[in-house]
Chain A
Amino acid sequence: MEVIEKLKILSDAAKYDASCSSSGSKRSNSNGVGNAHYSGICHSFTEDGRCVSLLKILMTNYCIYDCKYCINKRSNIRERAIFTPQEIADLTINFYKRNYIEGLFLSSGVIKNPNYTMEKIIETIKILRNKYHFNGYIHAKTIPGCSKELIDILGSLVDRLSINIELPSNESLKLLAPDKKGDSIVSSMKYINEKKNKNKLEKKKEYFVPAGQSTQLIVGATKESDYKILTLTEALYKNFNLKRVYYSAYISVNQDKNLPMVTTPELKRENRLYQADWLLRFYGFKSHELLDEKNQNFNTLIDPKLDYALRNLDKYPIEVSKADYFTLLRIPGIGITSAKKIISTRKYVKLDYETLKKIGVVLKRAKYFVTCNGKYYTNASNYNKKIIYKELGYDNIKQLSLF
């Protein structure tokens, strides 16, 4: 089979992995090819609006497993292909030198057994790192159930490792991925995190997964609520120091009695989860502040932060000339950049609404939730729950979301 044929099959098979990040690593170029850029670089954007940063391919789409949601499951009749390690290394180097990509994201179906598959992945990356002296970004998948020794070797070669949980609960895993075990996924994440922490404590110089770990959760294939997904996410960040959790709105690729038929993916829901994810990681929110047992799912009509503010009006208005960083971040219409600018500006200049607007605060939103030097934005009305609900159409939103 020609390389272009293989590339067609094995990039198509890899596309459902949402991860595209090339950030978090500072690997420098020591007389070889390439380096990692700490903030990551997007090289292109496909028609679905997703960024292309890494050469995202499977080594093979042959698989011994039969996970019901997966397009590459054993029982599917599909065209199958397998790259040799040399072919992958050559594609990566040649794409990289033309600046098409930032590096390689290598995943694979499981062939023979998990260890054998891992060995082939390692062989590929060794060619890149040792023969071609490639210092660009490499993200590889850990194959669930492989040995710790192989994780050690792979971890010393790559920038990022990921292992996809895919289904947000053990029951769903049992139902849809009977060959995979939740325990082996979690134990490998735990192992990598502990090893990273240990290296840090002992101040070891060698690289071990410098850009950390990530994972992916499928949204909408099983019955878990947003609350359930978000608390799982929170635990993953807290317990395993994950760098990212990705969410992938489910699209039906297989027919199965245990799977819903989804032709239009729940993109809005996915978007709300990403917004909430940001609130957890950068804004100091806790999952129970955003959702709880009574409100298990996000409102699709308004974003999670505005929703939080409207449900907690007793905590507002916030005085922008005094509030600390994390309090400023709770104001709808103020993000990380504008919060930082507010803090650095107010040291030297008395803030007013004009200046706030100029430094990037979205006043259209923020005006309901702030005072500036004791002054509420509109003179006509004072801080009043009824007026805010009315102007932001919250009563309608609440009613609509009941259906």
Chain B
Amino acid sequence: MKDIIYLYDGTFEGFLTVVYSVFKRKILPKKIITNQEYHYNLFDKEEYIHTDFILSDKVFAGIKNISEHAMYNIFYAFLCDKNNKELIILDYIINLFRFKEKLIYMRNINSVLDVENMVKKVKREAHKFKGFVRFSKMENDIYYAKIEPDNDILEIVSRHFKKRLQNDLWIIEDAKRKVVSFYNKKDFVIVNKFSDIYERLIKTNKEIEYEQLWKCFFENVNIKERKNLRCQRNFMQKKYWKNILEVTK
């Protein structure tokens, strides 16, 4: 018999629907992958699972009923860009139903450690981006920022700025995933497959003045006698630099 591969739409609800199917059919898939990433081949038997909010809600409630902490871990781990994250999280969920809430601390099980590390990775990057996001003020008083994080942290970061800049209009674009978060002074919405937002905005002249002021500060607050580039790059990895105003060349 061929190994089964489940395809889904990449959403968290879609993934939970797959989890439901696994429990229902009692067959472990070889892989769970989004239909965009999947390449068809002769050897595998694939099946697309349609996202079903009623079923995903059932799984969600079932997990939350056992442990809210575990639900939190699963949600954050799902945002991680790790390969095969779906199977790791599936294993975690299967074990959760067996060992209940104490699973979180059973670090001798691989998927428990993996999930813990994925959560850590996502939270760490989200925290970094609360600092690394750089807004430019555009015409019509819109603040715009572009980010390209490894993990899918746009929602976490948006929640942060919703509190912080509650009386301003802002847009954050995740250029890697082509998703954009729009905030209208009340709430934010995240829109998929949106890529040319920057071309529609116009930077003000005043903006260039503030950019220069910031760069001036950044240069002058540095102590030359203490130069330590390795330390700088450890804290602010080079891969992020192209969207951080003061270090882009």
Contact = CB atoms under 8 A, between A and B. Distances in A.
Interface in A224-264: 249, 251, 263-264
B230 interface: yes
B130 A348 contact: no
A14 B221 contact: yes
A55 B221 CA distance: 9
B244 interface: yes
Query: Interface residues of B: mostly helix, strand, loop or mixed?
Result: helix
A94 B206 CA distance: 11
B102 interface: yes
Given A251-B223, A265-B225, A45 B236 contact: yes
Contacts of A295: none
Nearest to B207: A98
Query: Interface residues of A: mostly helix, strand, loop or mixed?
Result: loop
Interface in B117-140: 127-128, 130-137
Nearest to B222: A46
A264 B225 contact: yes
Interface-central residue, B135, B220, B236, by most chain A CB under 10 Å: B220
Contacts of B210: 94-95, 98
Interface in A38-92: 39, 41-53, 55-57, 91
Given A15-B223, A98-B134, A29 B107 contact: no
Interface string A7-29: 11001101110000000000011
A341 interface: yes
Contacts of A373: none
B235 A42 contact: yes
Contacts of B143: 97-98
Interface string A341-381: 10011011100101100110000000000000000000000
Interface string B94-130: 0000000010011110000100000000000001101
A47 B229 contact: yes
Interface in B145-160: 145
Contacts of A251: 223, 225-226
Give the interface size bracket for A toward B. Answer: 35 or more
Given A15-B220, A56-B221, A251-B223, A44 B246 contact: yes
Interface of B: 102, 105-108, 113, 127-128, 130-137, 143, 145, 161, 163-168, 210, 212-214, 216-218, 220-232, 234-236, 244-247
Given A35-B163, A49-B232, A57-B217, 17 more contacts: A11-B217, A29-B166, A33-B165, A35-B164, A42-B128, A43-B131, A44-B244, A44-B247, A45-B236, A46-B218, A46-B222, A47-B228, A49-B230, A49-B235, A51-B235, A95-B217, A98-B214
23 contacts: A7-B213, A12-B221, A28-B163, A29-B163, A35-B163, A44-B246, A48-B227, A48-B232, A50-B223, A51-B235, A52-B221, A56-B221, A95-B217, A97-B137, A98-B137, A98-B210, A100-B214, A251-B223, A263-B225, A265-B225, A265-B226, A341-B107, A354-B108
Interface of A: 3-4, 7-8, 11-12, 14-16, 28-29, 31-35, 37, 39, 41-53, 55-57, 91, 94-95, 97-100, 102, 249, 251, 263-265, 267, 341, 344-345, 347-349, 352, 354-355, 358-359
